[in-house]
Amino acid sequence: MTRNPRIKRKRRTKAELLPLSNADVRALSLEGHVALAAVRSGHGGAVQLGYLAKTVYLTFFLQNLMAQEVDVVLFQEAEAIIDRCIDRASTVGRWSLLEQDLVVLERLLIVYDTQLEAVPAYLFSEAWERFQRAMVSSLQRPFDSVETGKLEFTISELRAQMK
């Protein structure tokens, strides 16, 4: 297989080709594990669910970029678990996960940890950019729905969650 001389690839720096630093790997891994532990113990909230959702999507994008076999069912289950937790919080007022949901998210965190240890920095950056584009393209502004009376969270509820 020969390279097409007309196609120019961006030259990568040494830092971009190297794996993430040990400190970065630990920090990124810890975000997901601490978030899951907080929700498991009953002390989680919207912020922790946000970290878990971010981990789900980054893991998916990394699997795709690293040319790993993608277990779509794992990601669909994890996304559904996050959605159910959000629904539960809005109806019952408690951010909680069922035991079988914890097992799925733990499995996903193991995949993420393995990826973080091996991924070159440039691929992590690309996964992060894809994640940000996906979030921005699906962003819904809660104040747009005030007219229809479908505002899910009030400002006071948001402030309470952030404490």
Q: Is residue 10 part of a domain?
A: no
Residue 35 vs residues 28, 30, 53, 78, 83: alpha-carbon distances, Å: 11, 8, 10, 14, 16
Angle made by CA atoms 6, 9, 10, in degrees to the nearest 5: 140
Q: Is residue 128 part of a domain?
A: yes
Residue type at 27 in one-letter notation:
A
Q: Is residue 104 part of a domain?
A: yes
CA distance 18 to 119: 8
Burial class (CB in 10 A: 0-12, 13-18, 19+), 53: buried
The pTM of the full predicted model, rounded to 2 decimals, is 0.78
Phi, psi at 9, each rounded to 5°: -100, 145
Counting the structural domains of the chain, the total is: 1
The separation between the first and the last C-alpha atoms of the chain, rounded to the nearest angstrom, is 57
Q: Is residue 155 part of a domain?
A: yes
Which structural domain range is residue 83 located in? 19-162
Q: Is residue 13 part of a domain?
A: no
Side-chain half-sphere CA neighbours of 40 within 13 A: 15
Q: What is the pLDDT along the chain (163 residues), one digit of tens a residue?
A: 555 666 677 788 877 778 899 999 999 999 999 999 999 999 999 999 999 999 999 999 999 899 888 789 999 999 999 999 999 999 998 999 999 999 999 999 999 999 999 999 999 999 999 999 888 877 655 555 444 444 444 444 545 554 4
Q: Is residue 107 part of a domain?
A: yes
